[in-house]
Each structure stands twice: as structure tokens, then as C-alpha cells.
Structure 1
Amino acid sequence: MGLELYLDLMSQPCRAVYIFAKKNGIPFQLRTIELLKGQHYTDAFAQVNPLRKVPALKDGDFVLAERKYKAPDHWYPQDLQTRARVDEYLAWQHTALRSCCSRAMWQKMMFPVFLGQPVPPERLASTLAELDGCLQMLEDKFLQNKAFLTGPHISVADLVAITELMHPVSAGCKIFESRPKLAAWRQRVEAAVGESLFQEAHEVVLKAKDMPPLMDPTLKEKLKLSVQCLLH
């Protein structure tokens, strides 16, 4: 059996993996794991990933896909200085942009609509202010006047960043409207990966606002506990 990717396209990293594999012609079988239905808690998925996290891959003896499949150098350059710029961004975004983007989505939409748990307005306002600060840092430190975050070509840094930013967008945050530089960068990223693929990868999350409230009390408590930190 070939490469199997266990993904939920509600997840930012899963969307990045999905776009990367599709864009680079890496053949895979999609195994959808719906986090909001608790499918990552099942014993069957624990056999794939005991940590019960996505994205996950299964490829024979778990050979890492990036070592087996060829992709253009610009995604993760061999040049050490350029690669260091990609690594720098990835390290920053995981502790900064990822946190506030996730909290913005959950506090603005998922907790009140999906879980029926209102978030205090002052807490949401604080999260949105933090998000605005991160967006400013993204522009000033990383994008600057470049076409992409690390130079003239798209890299995994751009892919990780754009899938992260679509989280608050799905909740109705107008993060690009007052930031023309960031909006132009988004257009370049979409064009580089292909607009149809970009829309395909984000179709699920952009429809999240239309999901009915979760009714299963057991699953609701599990989800609340797993994302409780996002309230703070």
C-alpha cells in the first residue's frame, strides 16, 4: 500500500500537508479523521498514531515522505541561509501566530456556536488585539518587501502561514482588508499553489460557521477539555 495521509482539513497543519502533497504530485490516499466527531479518540486511529494527533502518515515502515518523494528545492531550500529563514519562521509561528489564530477562531466562532459556550467579550478582544500584533510582526519581520516570507519564491513557511491565517478568516475576521501588503502576499501564495487547490483545501474550514451545534454531551466535554487553553 502507498502513502496514506490521515488528515482533517479543519486543521491548519493538515491543510498545509494536503496542499503540499497535491501541488507536488505526491500520490496518497486520504484518510479523513474528523476531530470534531472525536475520531482521533478511537482505538483504530491510536494504532496509526498513539498520540491521537493529526496530521499523521503511514508509508510502509513509516518512511518520512519528504525523504522519499522529490519536490522543488524552493519549498525547503538546500541553501543553508535560505533554509535557516524558513526554520526561523516556522519556530516563530508555532509559538505566536498559531496560538492567536487558533484562539481567535475558537473564541469567536467554535465555542459560542458549536459548543454553546459564550466567551467573555473582553477575552475575545484581547485575543484579537494579540492577533493584530502578530500580523504586524509577520509583515515587518518576515514579509518586509519580499514576494514571499523568505525570499522571491514560495516555501513551506508561506504554506504554513496562509493555512494558519485562514482559521480566523473562517470565523469572520477581516484580517486582510486593512493590510494591503498581506493581502497581496495572500494572492501570490494562492496563485503559486493554484487557486482551485487552495479553495479545495479550505472548503471544510470555510463552511465551519454553518455547522450545527454539537449535541453529544460526552464528546462536547472532551472537546472542551482538549481546547480549554484557547479560552485564555
Structure 2
Amino acid sequence: MGLELYLDLLSQPCRAVYIFAKKNGIPFELHTVDLLKGQHLSDAFAQVNPLQKVPALRDGDFTLSESVAILLYLTRKYKVPDYWYPQDLQACARVDEYLAWQHKTLRRNCLRALWHKVMLPLFLREPVSPETLRATLAELDVNLKVLEDKFLQNKAFLAGPQISLADLVAITELMHPVGAGCQVFEGRPKLAAWRQGVEAAVGEALFQEAHEFILKAKDSQPADDTLKQKLLPKVLAMIQ
């Protein structure tokens, strides 16, 4: 049995894994795990990933969770161009630095922006408080400035002159608040130019395909009441 990827393109880490595999011609069988239907909580999926999260990978008898681990596994198993995860020690360290930073900062902010602005109102049938939304968007602004000033600076990409895993992870995160209607790139010309460069490096068609669902997030329909009762505590814990 070949490589299998368990993904839901609602998830930003899943989009990063999907784009990376497709862009590099890595053959895989796609298993869609619908998060809003609670399919990640099923006993069947727990056999693949006991953590009950996506993305997940199965390669024969080997299974793997966590998006960064999956991306690194794919770079090491398949002959992908060096720029994704450079052999040069310092260039590689720059990629590692971003991947270590983003998990509890930008990812959290982008996730909260989507859920506070769009998804929780769908689940709860009422908007979150204006104070909560303002605090969420203010925190996002702080980390967007860090992304631009500390990581991007005056470079074309986060780790140097070519795209890397850092850029792919970052852009899929930022498309979460974009899907919620946030003007993430407005007034940030360096960040806007970087986005254009990432899209061009990935390929516009693939980029749009991967983000088709998230860009329609505002039109999503929540799960039924029974499933919402099961999902909501996990969602709230995730975005605290």
C-alpha cells in the first residue's frame, strides 16, 4: 500500500501538507476527514491517529501525526528540491526557527480570528463579544508585525531567496483570517508582495484549489446540535 494522507482542507496544516505533496508530484491516496462532521473523532480514524487530529499520514505500516513532522518526513523520503528544507546549516536553521515560533503564535492567532469572526457565530448562533473580537484581531496584528519585521524583513521569502516550508506553513495560516474577511495584507506591502511570490512559486491553480473551501468559510453550515455538543468543547479548548 502506498502513501495515504488524511486531510481536511478546512485545516491550515492540512493545506500545507496537501500543497507540498501536490506541488512536488508525491503520489498519495487522499482520505478526507470532515472536521465539521466530527469524522476525526471516530474509532476508525483513531486507529490512524490516536490523537484524533488531522493531518495524519500512513505509509504502509507506519503512521505519523503533526504537520511539521509530516512535511519533514516527505522532504526526506522524496527527492524534492533542496530549497524546501535546505541542506545549508544556517538556511535550514532559519526554516526551523520559523516553524518553532509559529505554532503557538501566528497559528493560534489565525485560528482564533476565523473562529471568533465566523465559525463560533455559526455554532452558537450569535456573535462573540466585540471586546473578544477586538482583542483577537489586535493580537493577530502584533504577530503579523513580527512575521514581517523579524522573519520576512527585506527578503523575497522567509528563509531566503527561494520558497521553503516556512513560507508554505505561513501562507496557509494567513489564509484563515482572509477566509474570515480580515484584510491581512492591506497596508502591508512587503507582506502582500511575499504572498504573491508564494502563490507564484506554488502555482496559482494549486493555491486556489487548496484554499477554495476556506475562502468560502463564511458560508459554512454548522453540524447538527448533537454533534455540536460533542465538537464545541474541543473547539473552545483549541482556541483558548
The TM-score by the shorter chain falls in which range? over 0.9
- Counterpart of 1:7 in structure 2 is 7
Q: Aligned partners of 2:53, 2:14: CA distance in 1, in Å?
A: 10
How much does 1:61 deviate? 2.4
Aligned CA distance change for structure 1 residues 142 and 231 (closer, same or farther; 3 Å): closer
What letter corresponds to residue 177 of structure 1 in structure 2?
A: E
- CA RMSD, aligned part only? 1.3
- Counterpart of 1:88 in structure 2 is 97
* CA contact 1:106–1:230 (8 Å) conserved in 2: no
Partner SS, residue 92 of structure 1: helix
How much does 1:117 deviate? 4.3
C-alpha distance after superposition, 1:124-159 (max 9, x if no partner): 100100000101010000000000001001000000
**How many residue pairs align between the two structures?**
231
C-alpha distance after superposition, 1:34-91 (max 9, x if no partner): 0110001111111111111110011112174333211111000111111110010011
- Counterpart of 1:28 in structure 2 is 28
- Counterpart of 1:208 in structure 2 is 217
What letter corresponds to residue 225 of structure 2 in structure 1?
A: P
TM-score w.r.t. structure 1 length? 0.96
Q: Aligned partners of 1:59, 1:82: CA distance in 2, in Å?
A: 29
2:75 corresponds, among 42, 61, 66, to 66
- In structure 2, runs of 5+ residues without a counterpart are 64-72
Q: Where in structure 2 are the equivalents of 1:50-199 lying within 5 Å?
A: 50-62=50-62, 64-199=73-208
- In structure 1, runs of 5+ residues without a counterpart are none
* CA contact 2:3–2:28 (8 Å) conserved in 1: yes
* CA contact 2:75–2:85 (8 Å) conserved in 1: no
* CA contact 2:108–2:239 (8 Å) conserved in 1: no
C-alpha distance after superposition, 1:172-224 (max 9, x if no partner): 0011111111011000000000000000000111112112243x222112221
Stretch moving more, 110-119 or 97-106: 110-119
What letter corresponds to residue 198 of structure 1 in structure 2?
A: F
Greater RCO between the two (CA within 8 Å, min separation 6)? 1
- Counterpart of 1:226 in structure 2 is 234
Aligned CA distance change for structure 1 residues 31 and 230 (closer, same or farther; 3 Å): closer
TM-score w.r.t. structure 2 length? 0.93
